[in-house]
Chain A
Amino acid sequence: MTFLLRRASFYLITLWAAITANFLLPRLLPGDPVQAMITKLGGRLNSDAMASLYILFGLDEKKSIWEQYVDYWGALLRGDLGLSFTFFPTPVADVLSQSLPWTLGLIGVTTIIAFLLGTLIGVYAGWKRGSWMDTLIPVTTFLSSIPYFWLGLIVISVFSVTFPLLPASGGYAAGLVPEWSGEFVGSVLEHAVLPGITIVVSSVAGWILGMRNMMVTVTAEDYVLVARAKGLSEKRIMFAYAARNAVLPSISGFALSLGFIVGGALLVEMVFSYPGLGYVLFQGIGAKDYPLMQGVFLVITLAVLVANLLADVGYLLLDPRTRREG
């Protein structure tokens, strides 16, 4: 329990540091958001509009950096992340809450699928090493070494241009309204197939390789020999004795990869014009949309912290040696 408390306070401190850095960074940059907006609009703003923009962004009052910091926290706790320039005048929080589910849905599900599939293949390949499954490894490694955008473009050109089976871009068919209807869900799934498959194909090799090698290592352990001598079934030895121990390093890798789901799929969302967070970030960067970038970074930071916490807890559950008594 004390261990959990210690971890929790560590995460709180990290969170505070990350949010503070997020606050400071844009303020260290030259210029201010209104200047950026003026530049973006190519000077087509009169002085009244500029003055109202300063008021809108709260830059009219000369506040000390400390007052700004306190205000920032206050706004953050209210869920107010400011206004986006790119999607002006939509609040950043709204932009994020619209794009986050798409990213979580696509990248989250495919990351989990890739992990489960890769680990399972790795278990069998490591257990029966030297079998035909070993030939899978160079194949999957080759696929994962193809630059992602290239793989994505090939898949698009084959499956939506040469053989127009699946849509090439977007999260759902144009003209549909997001709602819980069969038609909309079907369209979402259809649009997720190509990006989903490319993600799984390009990331599964790492899980297979890691798991296979750990299986080979663990299979040589005495307790696996003991399990065999005990006359346990092959399945039981493979899963409860070998894989159960071999999976531990993969688990922490998996939990960390969950943290990068939120921000890590920039290329996928760009190639497939998927309406997720990565695509939003891409647009935000193009437009020097600091509030939006700040908001995205905040979400990524939170996601990485949560993933780390998950890795800690998962390890605690799976490996009794990491539990501290008392």
Chain B
Amino acid sequence: MSPVLEIRDLSVDYGSLRAVHNVSLTLGAGEVLGLAGESGSGKSTLAYAATRLLQPPGRVPSGEVRFKGHDLLALTEKQLQVLRWSEIAIVFQGAMNALNPVISVGAQIDDVLRTHRPALTRRERADRGRELLSLVGIPIDRLSAYPHQLSGGMRQRVMIAMALALEPEIVIMDEPTTALDVVVQRQILGQMMRLRETLGFSVIFITHDISLLVEFSDRVAIMYGGRVVEEAPAAEIYRAAKHPYSQGLLGSFPALRGPRRELRGIPGSPPDLRSMPTGCPFHPRCPQAMDVCGERMPSLDSVEERRRVACWWEEAHV
């Protein structure tokens, strides 16, 4: 699988606090890469930093994001504007507020087409808008509706339709279904994955819901305290997660299929950026913590083909 997006050693600071530490990730063509972690683990920050959407005081002190031979972090604002949405589109979290409340959804889709496809006539843009709505299963007469007239699920579908307007190479989905009920969640994600098969884009899927992640992703990266702690194919991680944190996350959601298992939470709370524990940031909550865990940070090393884990215990027991 040839990579479409390569994040290399990316760090993100908020003021003097480091929110993301030297993360490297690769998104393959046509792949769904899942990013999981608790709130504050840096998963959204990572995605926004990689697409240069980070708001001040967020800043990227080091790293590289390779896309089609460019480093996204080195492009000028003008060059970036051309790439935005036409190559990398984003389905935002919170369908409630991601649409402009005072403009009709048709006009918001039209906005994208008018900016990036100036050759299209008004009629062609309207046709494309209707085509996009029917693609996501919304009656085409809703093109003139305002966001408040649509249900949460419909709004999220509109966001997806809008994201696909220019047939982008990459779609980043940031908690796309968090505000929706479970049935609608699955409908929308299922539809998104079918569209991916026909249109052939790659997806970065960010969520804290690891059961959705395992179900809909090809490969999963688990983040904790601003670092990737484990990366593996989705089926593998579900079958046998290696990092104690991944095991904890998986244990905190009910399994959809397979044998019943006991639900467990992870004791303690996510680390505070202002007072990160020394060594492995997870060690104060880790049931398998050893002496070395509190002293030095384990590196993210390959343990098997296409599997990487950052854990001293794992290293000691290979």
Which residues of chain A have a CB within 8 Å of any CB of chain B? 220-223, 225-233, 236, 240-241, 244-245, 248, 318-321, 325
Max chain B CB contacts within 10 Å: which of A220, A232, A319? A232
User: Which of A222, A240, A244 sits near B92, CB closer than 8 Å?
Assistant: A222
Q: Is B50 an interface residue (CB 8 A)?
A: no
- Does A226 lie within 8 Å of B92, measured CB to CB? yes
User: Which of B80, B111, B149 sits near A232, CB closer than 8 Å?
Assistant: B111
Residues of B within 8 A of A232 (CB): 111-112, 115
Please, how many angstroms separate the alpha-carbon atoms of A223 and B103 in the complex?
11
Task: Enumerate B69-116 residues with CB–CB distance to A below 8 Å.
Answer: 80-86, 89-90, 92-94, 97-104, 111-112, 115-116
Residues of B within 8 A of A221 (CB): 97
Please, how many angstroms separate the alpha-carbon atoms of A47 and B283 in the complex?
106
- Does B53 lie within 8 Å of A321, measured CB to CB? no
Knowing A231-B82, A236-B111, A320-B148 are in contact, say whether A222-B94 is a contact too (CB < 8 A): yes
Q: Is B51 an interface residue (CB 8 A)?
A: yes
Q: Is B67 an interface residue (CB 8 A)?
A: no
User: What's the dominant secondary structure at chain A's contact region?
Assistant: helix
Please, how many angstroms separate the alpha-carbon atoms of A90 and B94 in the complex?
66
Knowing A231-B81, A320-B148 are in contact, say whether A245-B102 is a contact too (CB < 8 A): yes
Residues of A within 8 A of B98 (CB): 222-223, 225-226
Please, how many angstroms separate the alpha-carbon atoms of A321 and B148 in the complex?
7
Please, how many angstroms separate the alpha-carbon atoms of A178 and B31 in the complex?
79
Residues of A within 8 A of B55 (CB): 220, 225
Q: List 26 A-B contacts (CB under 8 A).
A: A222-B94, A222-B98, A223-B99, A226-B92, A227-B100, A229-B51, A229-B84, A230-B85, A230-B111, A230-B112, A231-B81, A231-B82, A231-B83, A231-B84, A231-B85, A232-B112, A233-B81, A233-B115, A236-B111, A240-B100, A241-B100, A241-B103, A248-B102, A319-B101, A319-B102, A320-B102
Q: Is B253 an interface residue (CB 8 A)?
A: no
Please, how many angstroms separate the alpha-carbon atoms of A240 and B94 in the complex?
21
Please, how many angstroms separate the alpha-carbon atoms of A228 and B100 in the complex?
12
Residues of B within 8 A of A222 (CB): 92-94, 97-98
Q: Is B146 an interface residue (CB 8 A)?
A: yes
Please, how many angstroms separate the alpha-carbon atoms of A221 and B89 in the complex?
18
Q: Which residue of A lies closest to B83 (CB)?
A: A231
Residues of B within 8 A of A245 (CB): 100-102
Q: Which residue of B lies closest to A228 (CB)?
A: B53
Knowing A231-B82, A231-B85, A241-B100 are in contact, say whether A236-B53 is a contact too (CB < 8 A): no
Chain B proximity of A193: nearest CB distance (Å):
38
- Does B101 lie within 8 Å of A223, measured CB to CB? yes
- Does B85 lie within 8 Å of A321, measured CB to CB? no
- Does A225 lie within 8 Å of B103, measured CB to CB? no
Residues of B within 8 A of A240 (CB): 100, 103, 111
Please, how many angstroms separate the alpha-carbon atoms of A291 and B66 in the complex?
80
- Does A229 lie within 8 Å of B102, measured CB to CB? no
Chain A proximity of B211: nearest CB distance (Å):
25
- Does A225 lie within 8 Å of B53, measured CB to CB? yes
Which residues of chain B have a CB within 8 Å of any CB of chain A? 51, 53, 55, 80-86, 89-90, 92-94, 97-104, 111-112, 115-116, 146, 148-149, 162
- Does A229 lie within 8 Å of B90, measured CB to CB? yes
- Does B115 lie within 8 Å of A236, measured CB to CB? yes
Chain B proximity of A313: nearest CB distance (Å):
16
- Does B146 lie within 8 Å of A321, measured CB to CB? yes
Max chain B CB contacts within 10 Å: which of A222, A229, A248, A325? A229
Please, how many angstroms separate the alpha-carbon atoms of A318 and B94 in the complex?
24
Knowing A230-B112, A231-B116, A321-B146 are in contact, say whether A223-B100 is a contact too (CB < 8 A): yes
Max chain B CB contacts within 10 Å: which of A226, A233, A240, A321? A226
User: Which of A230, A319, A321 sits near B84, CB closer than 8 Å?
Assistant: A230
Q: A231-B116, A236-B111 are in contact. List 4 more A-B contacts (CB 8 A).
A: A229-B51, A231-B81, A240-B100, A320-B146
Q: Which residue of B lies closest to A220 (CB)?
A: B55
Q: Which residue of A lies closest to B88 (CB)?
A: A229
Knowing A223-B98, A225-B53, A226-B92 are in contact, say whether A231-B103 is a contact too (CB < 8 A): no
Q: Which residue of A lies closest to B109 (CB)?
A: A230
Residues of B within 8 A of A233 (CB): 81, 115
Residues of A within 8 A of B93 (CB): 222
Max chain A CB contacts within 10 Å: which of B84, B101, B148, B162? B101
Please, how many angstroms separate the alpha-carbon atoms of A306 and B243 in the complex?
69
Please, how many angstroms separate the alpha-carbon atoms of A231 and B81 in the complex?
4
User: Which of B97, B115, B146 sits near A230, CB closer than 8 Å?
Assistant: B115
Chain A proximity of B101: nearest CB distance (Å):
6
- Does B92 lie within 8 Å of A225, measured CB to CB? yes
Residues of B within 8 A of A325 (CB): 149
- Does B102 lie within 8 Å of A244, measured CB to CB? yes
Chain B proximity of A244: nearest CB distance (Å):
6
Residues of A within 8 A of B81 (CB): 231, 233
Chain A proximity of B169: nearest CB distance (Å):
14
Chain A proximity of B166: nearest CB distance (Å):
9
Please, how many angstroms separate the alpha-carbon atoms of A208 and B80 in the complex?
32
Knowing A228-B53, A231-B85, A232-B115 are in contact, say whether A321-B100 is a contact too (CB < 8 A): no
Please, how many angstroms separate the alpha-carbon atoms of A240 and B99 in the complex?
12
Chain B proximity of A59: nearest CB distance (Å):
57
Q: Which residue of B lies closest to A248 (CB)?
A: B102
User: Which of B86, B146, B148, B162 sits near A231, CB closer than 8 Å?
Assistant: B86
Residues of B within 8 A of A319 (CB): 101-102
Residues of B within 8 A of A231 (CB): 80-86, 112, 115-116
Q: Which residue of B lies closest to A242 (CB)?
A: B100
